[in-house]
Chains A and B, each alone.
Chain A
Amino acid sequence: MNAIEVENLRKEFKSYSSRSGLVGAFRDLFTRNYKIIRAVNDISFTVKQGEMVGYIGENGAGKSTTIKMLTGILTPTSGKVIVNGMNPHKEREAFVRTIGVVFGQRSQLWWDIAVQESFRLLKKVYRVSDKDYNEHMNHVIETLDIGPLLDKPVRKLSLGQRMRCELAAALIHNPPLLFLDEPTIGLDVLVKLKIRQFLKEINGKYNTTILLTTHDISDIEALCERVIMLDEGKIIYDGSLQKLKETWGEGKQIQFTFVSEMSLDTLKELTDGLQVTWKQGEQANVWTAHAPSALLPEVISRVVNRYSIQDLNINEISTEEIIRNIYEEGVVHG
C-alpha cells in the first residue's frame, strides 16, 4: 500500500514586490506589482507504507510547501495528492487523525501550561482510549526520557527537552504516517541521537512511514534509505542514498598541505594524463585532489616526489559534499 501518492503537484503563490522610495510607496497603496512564484513545480512521487524518506533541498526549495500540501494545510494549485488513501484538503478532519506532524520551528504544545495538560487535551482530541494511551505513551515517554518534564510548563523547557515532548505529542494517536519538518534543528548531538534511535524503533515496531525534511545530512544518513532531492520546486533526484553515493561519491579526496604556496597550473601539469581534479583549500598552500581510488598511489607519489609537504589526509567524499556538488551542477545524471 502506498502511504503517499503525488502526481504533478504544483503550488503557486502570488507575491507582490514593493516599489522603491516614497513615491513608490504611495503608488503601492493603489496598485501593486504582482508576481506569480511557483514554489512547487509539477512534482510526482510515491512513498510506500513503512518507508523512511529524506526530503531534502536548500532553503526555499519548496520542501515545507510540499509538506504543508501533504498535511492538508495548503491547497495545491493543481495536481493530485492522495495520502493514506485520502485527499488531505477535502477530508481534513478524518485525514489528520491518520498523521502526526512535527514542525521543528513551531511548537504545537500550549506554551503556558504543563506538558501533561497538552497531552491530555490531545488524547481527548484524538479520542485515544486510556488503555491505548497508557500502553503506547508510557513507552514513548520512557524512551524519550521526558517523564520528569511532564509537569513543567512548556516555556520553561530547553529546546532539546521541548523537541522530545513535541515528538511525543505527535505520536499520541500512534499515526501510521509521520511528517517531520526539521525535527533536529538546533539540537545537540545527544538529543539528536536519542531522537533518531527512537524514530528507528517506532518504524520497526509499527511500520510507521516517516517523511523527514532536514538540513542535517547525518539525520538522513542515519535514518533514510531513500532520498528525494528538491531544487527550485522540482525533484532533481529520487532514489536510494546508497546509489547517490556510488554515482557521485566515487573516488577519494587527498588533501595536501604543502610547505610553500602552489598554483593550480603546476599541480595540473604534475598530474597530467591522470583523472584528477584539484581544488584549493582555505590557504594558498592547501590543495585537495579528487581522484578515483585506483589512482591514489600514483597521485601521492608524483606529488611527494616533486614537492615537500607538511601534511596529508585521505578522505571519503561525504554525503554533504555530494549534495553540495549536485546543487552546484543543478541536475543529477544517472
Chain B
Amino acid sequence: MDKYLEMIRIRFLMMLAYRTNYYTGILIYAINIAAYYFLWSAIYGGKQTMQGMSMEQMTTYVAISWMARAFYFNNIDREIAMEIREGNVATELIRPYSYLGMKTMQGLGEGIFRLLFLSLPGLLLVALFLPLRFPTDAHTWIFFILSIALSFVINSELNLLAGIVTFFTLNNEGLLRAKRFVIDLFSGLILPISFYPDWAQAVMKYFPFQGISYIPSMIVTESFQGQAIIDGLLFQFVWCALLIIPIRLLWRAAKKRLVVQGG
C-alpha cells in the first residue's frame, strides 16, 4: 500500500513541477463554469423551472459538475497509449507492482491535486460572481463524496480499457478522442440526462456514462431524493464491478500480444 501512496505523492510533485499549467488550470475551470452559466441563463429566459430544476439548481449543477470533473477526469488512457507507443511500458513491467493499479493511483493523485488546488479555488472564484446554492445537509455531502469516488472508479476503468486497446492497435488517438467526447456528452456534464428525449434516456440506462457526472451532480443539487439517491449509487456501484471483467480479460490478452516498440 505504501508504494501506491508514494505514487500519489509523486504525482503531486509532477503536477507542481509546471506552475504555469497550474495557474491556467484554475482559470480554465472558472471560465468553463461561467460560460455554461451564461448559456443556461439564456436558455431559461424568464422561466422558473425546466425539467424540475430551477435556474439556481442548474447553476449549482454546472459548477459542481465541473468541480467533480476535475476529480474524476484523468489522462491515464493517453499515458498508457503513449507508454506503449514509445515502448516505455517495458520499464513499467519490470517493477513489482500492478501496472494498471499504479496507473489508477496516478490518476487518483492527479484527481486529488486538481480537486484541491484547481477546482476548489476555481469554484470560490466563481462563487463570488454567480448565485450558487450549496446543500447544508451533511447527508447530502456524504452521499456526494461516495458518489464522486465511484465516478472516479468508473471513469478510470473506462480509461484503462481505452488505454489497453492500444496494446492491440498501437495507435488509437481517434478512439481516445471519441471516448472523451462521448463521456462529456453522455455523462451529463454538458446537459443533464433528464433533458434528453425519453428514448435516449432509456438507452443510456444501459451505459455507465451517467454514473460519471450526472448522478453525483444530481445528488449534490438535491434533485435526487430518498430512493433515487440509493438507486443512483447502486447503479454506479454495479458498473464499477462490471467493468472489471473486460479489463481483466483484455489485459491478459494484451500482455500476450505485447510488442515493445523500438530497440
Question: Which chain A residues have a beta carbon within 8 Å of chain B's beta carbons?
Answer: 13, 64, 68, 71-75, 92-94, 96-97, 99, 101, 103, 105-108, 110, 112-113, 117, 120-121, 124-127, 153, 181
Contacts and interface: CB of A to CB of B under 8 A. Distances in A.
Interface in B84-100: 87-88, 90-91, 93-98
Given A75-B256, A124-B2, A101 B94 contact: yes
Which of A64, A68, A99, A126 is the most central at the interface, judged by chain B CB atoms within 10 Å of its CB? Answer: A68
A110 B255 contact: no
Given A106-B88, A112-B14, A113-B10, A72 B93 contact: yes
Interface residues of B, number: 26
B7 A121 contact: yes
B174 interface: no
A103 B17 contact: no
Contacts of B17: 112-113, 153
B22 to A, nearest CB: 13
Interface string B227-263: 0000000000000000000000000000110111011
Contact of B258 (A71, A74, A106): A74
Contacts of A68: 90, 260
Nearest to B263: A105
B3 interface: yes
B173 interface: no
A103 B255 contact: no
B10 A106 contact: no
Contacts of A120: 6
B196 to A, nearest CB: 35
A99 B91 CA distance: 12
A71 B259 CA distance: 14
Contacts of B263: 64, 103, 105-106, 181
A96 B98 CA distance: 12
A106 B96 contact: no
A126 B96 contact: yes
Given A94-B96, A127-B2, 15 more contacts: A68-B90, A75-B256, A75-B258, A93-B96, A96-B95, A101-B94, A106-B91, A108-B91, A110-B10, A113-B10, A113-B17, A124-B6, A125-B97, A153-B17, A181-B263
Interface string B1-44: 01100110010011001100000000000000000000000000
Contact of B18 (A13, A74, A112, A126): A112
B192 to A, nearest CB: 38
A150 to B, nearest CB: 14
7 contacts: A64-B263, A73-B90, A74-B258, A93-B96, A105-B263, A124-B6, A127-B2
B96 A113 contact: no
A121 B6 contact: yes
A166 B143 CA distance: 46
A226 B237 CA distance: 58
Contacts of B18: 112
A74 B3 CA distance: 25
Given A113-B10, A124-B6, A125-B3, A72 B260 contact: no
A122 B262 CA distance: 25
5 cross-chain pairs, A with B, having the tightest CB-CB distances, nearest first: A108-B91, A112-B17, A124-B6, A124-B3, A125-B3
B131 to A, nearest CB: 40
B94 A110 contact: no
Nearest to A126: B96
Contacts of A75: 255-256, 258
A249 B13 CA distance: 55
A125 B6 CA distance: 9
Contacts of A127: 2-3
A99 B96 CA distance: 10
B258 A73 contact: yes
B90 A106 contact: yes
A329 B262 CA distance: 28
Given A68-B260, A74-B260, A105-B263, A113 B95 contact: no
A121 B3 contact: yes
Contacts of B96: 93-94, 96-97, 125-126
A124 B87 CA distance: 24
B259 A13 contact: yes
Contact of B13 (A74, A108, A117, A126): A117
Given A73-B90, A74-B258, A92-B93, A113 B14 contact: yes
A294 B15 CA distance: 70
A122 to B, nearest CB: 8
B174 to A, nearest CB: 14
Contacts of B10: 110, 113, 117, 121
Contacts of A64: 263
A108 B13 CA distance: 17
A153 B18 CA distance: 12
Interface in B74-122: 87-88, 90-91, 93-98
Contacts of B14: 110, 112-113
Contacts of B6: 120-121, 124-125
A169 to B, nearest CB: 10
A278 B14 CA distance: 61
Contacts of B90: 68, 73, 103, 106
A124 B7 CA distance: 9
